[in-house]
Structure 1
Amino acid sequence: MTQKTSLLTLLLLLALCLSQPLQAEDGYRLWLRYDQVQEKTRLQQYRQLVSEVVVEGNSPTLAIVRKEIAMGLKGLLSQEVAVGQQASKAGTLLLGTPASSPLVASLQLSDQLKAIGTEGYLILTTQLQGRPATVIAANSDMGVLYGTFCFLRLLQSAEDITKLAINSTPKIQHRVLNHWDNLDRTVERGYAGFSLWDWHKLPGYIDQRYLDYARANASIGINGTVLTNVNANALVLTRDYLVKVKALADAFRPYGLKVYLTARFSAPIEIGGLKTADPLDPTVQSWWNEKSAEIYSLIPDFGGFLVKANSEGQPGPQNYGRNHADGANMLADAVAPQGGIVMWRAFVYDDKEPDDRAKQAYSGFKPLDGTFRKNVMVQVKNGAIDFQPREPFHPLFGAMPKTPIMMEFQITQEYLGQGTNLAYLAPMFRETLLADTHAKGKGSTVAKVIDGTLDNHTLTGIAGVANIGTDRNWTGHLFGQSNWYAFGRLAWNHQLHSEDIAAEWIKMTFNSNANVVIPVQNMMLTSREAVVNYMTPLGLHHIMGWSHHYGPGPWIKDKHRADWTSVYYHRADEQGIGFDRTKTGSNAIAQYYPPVQKLFGNPKTCPEEFLLWFHHVKWDYKVKSGKTLWNELCYRYSTGVDQVRQMQKTWAGLEQHLDDERFTHVASLLKIQEEEAKWWRDACLLYFQTFSKRPIPSDLEKPAQTLEHYMQLDPKFVPGI
């Protein structure tokens, strides 16, 4: 190689390096991307209104506030903004509490601060020492941090900040992620790699990813995390592991993130050497009291326990002839002296019980109303079966007025396409939250049950089963991030609208260009309905593949328990399809209040999205569209595929506005989603056609393979089992 050629090669390599982005857009930054504001008018406004930052006070959380606001403003404004403890000019951004900041105290905000509680915050446009200023004030350092993230969100979204008067308080007290993570780092129903928690290297090594995880949760108001799987391993309660848990709790604490653990009910036997785990046995009670004291000696702000008991083979109080309140109360008494709580899951059903599985949680827990300790919440899934693509709200909401009821949503998409499908879940969350239980008349929504306002409960909570793992972008599918984000935002304020949350996330994750925001928002808002259409339209449910729950399996039958099969739920025969839950069937409908019974009990008034959930309907029954039920099913399945194809088309049109890496990532997964949607459509229609004996309408795309082909498909090594 000549010297001239060598120089030319070096120049070309240099030019190539300079042309590449300095930071790969691999999704790691989530929605916390502090890139320069592109709208010039807004950028100029922000630079004028935020010329200096004042953060008075010293604490680990306020240190994070200083770091976050400095980093955010440097990126968004593309210039350094001085962060100090004295105000000297117009355009000051003041952050603090009356206790930490004499300047905040001087503003005499006591009445406004009194109304926002411990975690709330104010963001106000005001005057400070006679000069224009913006103030982020709260009663606690964590409130200041929450307000900081809100202010940066306004800048990321290119909002007007000239006249701010924001008053924000969380509507729910405990806003918690449930990690179904195992100690071997596998994740049950996890589709984003392995568990974040590297137990082998703890407590000595604190991965930066732990801090970034805590920061992301703080940015959306999540204040608790359950580290371990509800199918619990008692080893996490041993001293060796508790020291590791302490290391995580210490790292999370400045971000307001409390740590919780799952308690295996048989732990006194497995790690304690006792012969029983009977909750009424004094030696068992003493063991849990001592174990709780040990935990709190290491982690003074330990949140408490989440428990799955007597469900799907897990041990529990019923093993000893006791009830769920007996078990929950024993643990509640153990953590009560330190302010801990118990979240006792109502996902309980018995394979030996012949009654409709949808009824069993209500039947088991309703009689126990009023018997739980004050620091116990009963954690109830949004629907009575198991996180299906669509379920009517669980009848336990509104049925236990003397007991705090905690919502459990699934953020990870176990039944909604897992890691390969785009399904924005805020509309599903909102659908449940807005459902009217009629427990105390019209307007008794599920949201009012879980925020405590319906029955005057002060202990309130909401949980989301997380899909956060070691994948570089945290959630496997980039759009899985939107569900983590939406859960946090709705946990803080369940009155937010799905479209507004989507717009926020898009602006923060991509950019605020309307040519991006509007089409992506439309994609997101239709995505969950598309999944329902090509998987389980008209109230069909639980017809997925065996065990791994991946792909269609409406033919699943003859397993060791009927309620783990598909035929148990769809009940297709030559007359029709659907599960009769009216008086002529299982009468599960009787567990709802009379106005809801009336609505759901008549196929003419039952919302069509729940028709086959509550009714066994003839194939030639005329639905609202005028089509027969069979034809409507065919069109719904086909519409789902068409909706995915429309999402592909929309996304393809955005290539010029997006970075290559994330564009290609989503485009590739949308192609996979199209193939899976066709798989669901073809397999389900061919199978149900064996009962309906009717043709698929001639104007619809025909199945690509035979039913036998689809029935023989058995994917291996599906993640998340």
Structure 2
Amino acid sequence: MYRQLFLISVLFCLLLNGLTSAQQDSKNISNNLVGYWDFNKVDQTKLGNDPILGDAELYNLSNENYCVKMSPKIKPIRIPINSKSKLAIKEGTVSFWINSSTVENYNIIDYGNGAFTLRSYRGYLQARFQGESKFKFSGTVLNDQWYKYTLREDAFYPEENALIEENKWHHFAVTFDYKNKQFIGWRDGELIAIVDLAGTDVEPLKTEGLKEIVIGNEFIGFIDDVRIYNEVLNNDVISEIYNGDKDFYKSRHDKILPDSKMVVYNYNDSDKVLYDAWLGYSKNEKNEYSNLFKKIIIQTENPTIITAGNELKKAVNEIFGVSLPINSQIESEGNILLGTPNESELIKSFSSELELDKVENDGFVIKTIKINGNSFLVIAANEPAGVIFGTFELINKIKQQENLADLDFISNPKVKIRIIGHWDWFRGTEGDDWNGKKINPYNWEGNRYNSIYSWEDLRTGNTKLIEDWARLLASAGWNAICPTEINWQAQNNFLEHMDEVVTLAKILRNYGIKLYWSPNFLLALDQATADTLYNRIPYFGGYLLKLGSEAQLGNPFPEMVNNIAENLLPYKGEVLLRGFVYGKLRYSHITEVYRNTMQYDIYAPNDGKYLENVTIVGKANPLDWDLAAPISPLDGAIQKNNYGTEMVVAKSWPASWVAKWKWWMDFDNHKNGIESYNKNFTNCLLGVSMISPSPAWTSNPLNMVNYYGLGRLAWNPDLSVDEIYDEWISLTYGSDPKVHKTIKDILFVSSDVLKNQYIYRGYRGVWFDTSQDDLVESKTTHCMNEEGIGIISPEAEKKVLSQYSPELQKIYNDPVLGEEFLPYFHFVKYDHNLSNGRTVIQDMFMNLDDAVAGAEKMLSEWNTIEGKINKKVFEYTRDNLNNYVQTVNKNREKMIEIIEKISGRKYSNEVGINK
């Protein structure tokens, strides 16, 4: 009896509690929760907004508790909205649980009328809003006060807590608060950021035209518990929502795996002849240096100097079959002494005779001296890096069979910071297999997903590719590497992988190379970032930064840059600040919104206002990737601060850029009077690299001339193109005269082939876009239409010319003297006659024909050296050149089609023959 009464009482309490909860839920629904989809049933708000799952799959989490699973290439979930729906909110909050399988750009929740969109950008949560009239927050600049705010456009990228991550469940919430002019984000109940919209005309969200809400467009992964409130929720409520389910979701490990694994090249001994590039060693039975090479003397434990000794030992052994001992004691003639005065008492005692006071930075001296009547060959430097650069110089002389008797010379680098910047994402993360699907197995270059750098490889010690790449670069004189793309990507976060970063830095240090990094601006502003890096790596180089351009927030003006630079000053770290910045309306308060003129207007007025450890790194041309274009107007304009330049080293086509770089180095910008050569104003040379793990590092072994050539020019810009080609060909292919001449001819032709594929003699000032009606983007001061090609207006012509020195203005303003870059400075009619006897339109068409003929010549010339070089090298290069001929033909057809469409001129009419 009592037991029955007790059970009845319990049931009554439970029923009462359930009714109370239901009433509370009902109250919440009616007051603020206007949309709720847990995917166990239909719309939990009972307001009739049931989702249409389409191809999405209901995924059982546990006990009939479902979420939606979104697989590749399926249609997103759609929620039809009626005209009176409460989902058309003027302000409010959206929350959801998400588990993403990839680091992609995709929409998570998207109001069909654009009012409220939450998306992933490079793996970070990003918000987009549209007001009822003019207000729009979609990555565009809201007003010219943008640089006063730490975070605004493109938020919440790159806030650390906004990272969605791969294969992990996270709860996100975003509230739009138009009354307080802000929006706020949370991840897992914790604040991401409050984004200040002050100074803008914020409006209530757009409610008209809402016909559907789309969930998971182009998304791969899982989504659950989507809620929409027509109320601005606070921290406490968001935390309560998160805490209610966190234990359940955080214990799960749901994944969607791709149907194939990422395939990454691993070194194979059969590829050695390709892989070694210019560091391949051939046997020489005649050891004319036998009296010089008996022992290597190293009196230090410094890893860089020890590496130098090991490299010399390896070279002598592979070339002459002689194994040199390495020790610290001098006994007789034939010793090679390596070191610095700080590392060797013996070298210190001969500092005067070695003239080490004349050796600068990481330069070196190679000299034969007498010690106790015996001759010694000394490679000495003031920094350990100089010793390894000097050692590779000696090895090159051995390979080229130069006379080493009585050597006596000092070699100092002209450019202080000689850095390769990789356009890469680190591998070794959960998303590798998905990223691997984007790799073209027939194109080894230009793919950021297929990097030689991998966190997993660094953890496990599989570092041969990295070590050998550092070897090659050091042997060409490079002294810095930034392994990460300059646009922030979470996979490249050094702070999350410090043990691996230390391993990488040590590998590079062994070869005299400093490690740099491209952090996002928030990390760079944080003193703790610098402290963490330098506490673990005292020899860390510094930051390579892109600020205030595209989605990379922060600003490039002295105030923020100097704050970052101050963080590095105690450690003597460097800030390399990318000068090529642009961004829609971001700089409209100080300049016209053209990519080719912005960098001058931003940086030139601020010359002298940056700290001494800042180097402004402009581009070698006003725009991206031009093979033939005028110098950047910023060249020579920076006189009080450090200045550098960014150059492309190699892309997927086989082409030498060495002649272009030599031209740039020797160019007189006249900004400081006559003989204001670019090479005399360059503190940093940044070479943008796109190598990937592959047998020959690049698509074509001929491309390696670019890494060797630019490194050599950075060290000694007075070298001629002929000298660089002669060195590289001799080191890579040997001394056969026929081989040497043929490859040299091919390199010279390759520049013309590439140049002739551009619009006008290597000029790319007009940017084509097939999505535009006229095919022309408005990113630059240039256009192409039915009348001609070139500058868009007399005002733009005046603007562009004004950024150059008066002496250059006289040349570029003259259609005859400035014919090389004519469309860059003038609008030119198609029928304008050029000095080569062609009209402009004929030149544009016929250059494409010349490109095809040049590519065919490269292939036919290469075929003449069959049997004179290694068979594998010959065939590998031949196959790529054959593909290149086909590519150039396709480019020709595409360009002719574009030119005909825009100009209204037919190839057959202008050239006199059919296509």
Same fold, judged at TM 0.5 (above): yes
Structure 2 equivalent of residue 241 of structure 1: 497
Post-superposition Cα deviations, 1:422-458, rounded to whole Å, max 9, x if no partner, equal 11111111122222110111110111111xxxxxxxx
Distance of 2:461 and 2:594 partners within structure 1: 49
| SS across alignment from 2:628 | coil
Residue 611 (structure 1) aligned with residue 849 (structure 2): no
Structure 2 equivalent of residue 654 of structure 1: 865
Structure 1 equivalent of residue 695 of structure 2: 472
Higher relative contact order (CA 8 A, sep 6+): 1
Distance of 1:514 and 1:193 partners within structure 2: 40
Distance of 1:581 and 1:389 partners within structure 2: 24
Q: Which of the two has greater helix per residue?
A: 1
Structure 1 equivalent of residue 764 of structure 2: 541
Distance of 1:693 and 1:24 partners within structure 2: 49
Q: Residues 146 and 221 of structure 1 are in contact (CA less than 8 Å); yes or no, is this contact kept in structure 2?
A: yes
Q: Residues 54 and 95 of structure 1 are in contact (CA less than 8 Å); yes or no, is this contact kept in structure 2?
A: yes
Deviation of residue 700 (structure 1)?
Answer: 7.5
Structure 2 equivalent of residue 425 of structure 1: 657
| SS across alignment from 2:791 | coil
Distance of 1:148 and 1:312 partners within structure 2: 43
Residue 143 (structure 1) aligned with residue 376 (structure 2): no
Distance of 2:533 and 2:348 partners within structure 1: 37
Distance of 2:449 and 2:703 partners within structure 1: 13
Residue 441 (structure 1) aligned with residue 684 (structure 2): no
Counterparts of residues 675-694 of structure 1 (less than 5 Å):
675-690=886-901, 691=903, 693=905
When normalised by structure 1's length, the TM-score is: 0.81
Which residue of the other structure, out of 478, 483, 488, is the alignment partner of 1:227? 483
| SS across alignment from 1:512 | coil
Which residue of the other structure, out of 525, 531, 544, is the alignment partner of 1:306? 544
Structure 1 equivalent of residue 837 of structure 2: 626
Post-superposition Cα deviations, 1:174-210, rounded to whole Å, max 9, x if no partner, equal 1111112124576997259711121134445352222
Q: Which of the two has greater strand per residue?
A: 2
Residue 182 (structure 1) aligned with residue 425 (structure 2): yes
Shift in alpha-carbon separation, 1:205–1:696, aligned structure 2, 3 A: same
Structure 2 equivalent of residue 528 of structure 1: 751
Residue 578 (structure 1) aligned with residue 790 (structure 2): yes
Distance of 1:332 and 1:544 partners within structure 2: 35
Alignment-mate amino acid for residue 358 of structure 1: N
Counterparts of residues 124-273 of structure 1 (less than 5 Å):
124-184=367-427, 190-191=446-447, 194-233=450-489, 236-237=492-493, 239-267=495-523
Q: Residues 367 and 379 of structure 2 are in contact (CA less than 8 Å); yes or no, is this contact kept in structure 1?
A: yes
Alignment-mate amino acid for residue 262 of structure 1: S
Post-superposition Cα deviations, 1:393-431, rounded to whole Å, max 9, x if no partner, equal 110111121221111111132xxxxx2x21111111112
Deviation of residue 171 (structure 1)?
Answer: 1.3
Deviation of residue 561 (structure 1)?
Answer: 9.8
Distance of 2:278 and 2:641 partners within structure 1: 36
| SS across alignment from 1:61 | helix
Counterparts of residues 45-64 of structure 1 (less than 5 Å):
45-64=288-307
Post-superposition Cα deviations, 1:650-676, rounded to whole Å, max 9, x if no partner, equal 100111111121111111111111122
Structure 2 equivalent of residue 316 of structure 1: 554
Post-superposition Cα deviations, 1:224-245, rounded to whole Å, max 9, x if no partner, equal 1112111113564464323321
Q: Residues 755 and 762 of structure 2 are in contact (CA less than 8 Å); yes or no, is this contact kept in structure 1?
A: no
Counterparts of residues 629-640 of structure 1 (less than 5 Å):
629-640=840-851
Distance of 2:912 and 2:874 partners within structure 1: 31
Distance of 1:191 and 1:501 partners within structure 2: 28
Which residue of the other structure, out of 555, 564, 578, is the alignment partner of 1:331? 564
Shift in alpha-carbon separation, 1:433–1:488, aligned structure 2, 3 A: same
Provide structure 1 residue ranges, at least 5 long, that are not aligned to the other structure. Answer: 1-20, 269-284, 318-322, 414-418, 451-459, 547-554, 704-721
Distance of 1:511 and 1:197 partners within structure 2: 31
User: Number of residue pairs matched?
Assistant: 629
Which sits farther off after the overlay, 55-64 or 167-176? 55-64
Distance of 1:698 and 1:656 partners within structure 2: 43
Q: Residues 25 and 659 of structure 1 are in contact (CA less than 8 Å); yes or no, is this contact kept in structure 2?
A: no
Structure 2 equivalent of residue 33 of structure 1: 280
Provide structure 2 residue ranges, at least 5 long, that are not aligned to the other structure. Answer: 1-267, 440-444
Post-superposition Cα deviations, 1:512-555, rounded to whole Å, max 9, x if no partner, equal 22221121112112311221013333353156775xxxxxxxx5
Deviation of residue 559 (structure 1)?
Answer: 9.8
Structure 1 equivalent of residue 609 of structure 2: 371
Distance of 1:542 and 1:584 partners within structure 2: 13
Deviation of residue 44 (structure 1)?
Answer: 4.0
Residue 380 (structure 1) aligned with residue 618 (structure 2): yes
Alignment-mate amino acid for residue 777 of structure 2: A
Identity of aligned residues (%): 26
Structure 2 equivalent of residue 672 of structure 1: 883
Distance of 1:667 and 1:639 partners within structure 2: 20
Distance of 2:463 and 2:415 partners within structure 1: 30
Post-superposition Cα deviations, 1:357-411, rounded to whole Å, max 9, x if no partner, equal 2111111222222211111111111111112222211101111212211111111
Which sits farther off after the overlay, 231-240 or 241-250? 231-240
Shift in alpha-carbon separation, 1:292–1:544, aligned structure 2, 3 A: same
Post-superposition Cα deviations, 1:148-172, rounded to whole Å, max 9, x if no partner, equal 1000001112223234222101112
Structure 2 equivalent of residue 592 of structure 1: 804
Distance of 1:545 and 1:590 partners within structure 2: 26
| SS across alignment from 1:122 | strand
Shift in alpha-carbon separation, 1:85–1:200, aligned structure 2, 3 A: closer
Q: Residues 582 and 601 of structure 1 are in contact (CA less than 8 Å); yes or no, is this contact kept in structure 2?
A: no
Q: Residues 178 and 466 of structure 1 are in contact (CA less than 8 Å); yes or no, is this contact kept in structure 2?
A: yes
Distance of 2:762 and 2:325 partners within structure 1: 57
Structure 1 equivalent of residue 5 of structure 2: none
| SS across alignment from 2:451 | coil
Which sits farther off after the overlay, 673-682 or 655-664? 673-682
Post-superposition Cα deviations, 1:621-649, rounded to whole Å, max 9, x if no partner, equal 11112222222333322222212111111
Distance of 1:701 and 1:76 partners within structure 2: 56
Distance of 2:396 and 2:616 partners within structure 1: 34
Distance of 1:150 and 1:514 partners within structure 2: 23
Distance of 1:576 and 1:698 partners within structure 2: 14
Shift in alpha-carbon separation, 1:246–1:650, aligned structure 2, 3 A: same
| SS across alignment from 1:669 | helix
Distance of 1:701 and 1:677 partners within structure 2: 19
Distance of 2:519 and 2:776 partners within structure 1: 26
Which sits farther off after the overlay, 685-694 or 438-447? 685-694
Post-superposition Cα deviations, 1:116-150, rounded to whole Å, max 9, x if no partner, equal 12421112244443344433222233222111100
Q: Residues 907 and 913 of structure 2 are in contact (CA less than 8 Å); yes or no, is this contact kept in structure 1?
A: no
Alignment-mate amino acid for residue 578 of structure 1: G
Which residue of the other structure, out of 571, 574, 589, is the alignment partner of 1:341? 574
Structure 2 equivalent of residue 7 of structure 1: none
When normalised by structure 2's length, the TM-score is: 0.64
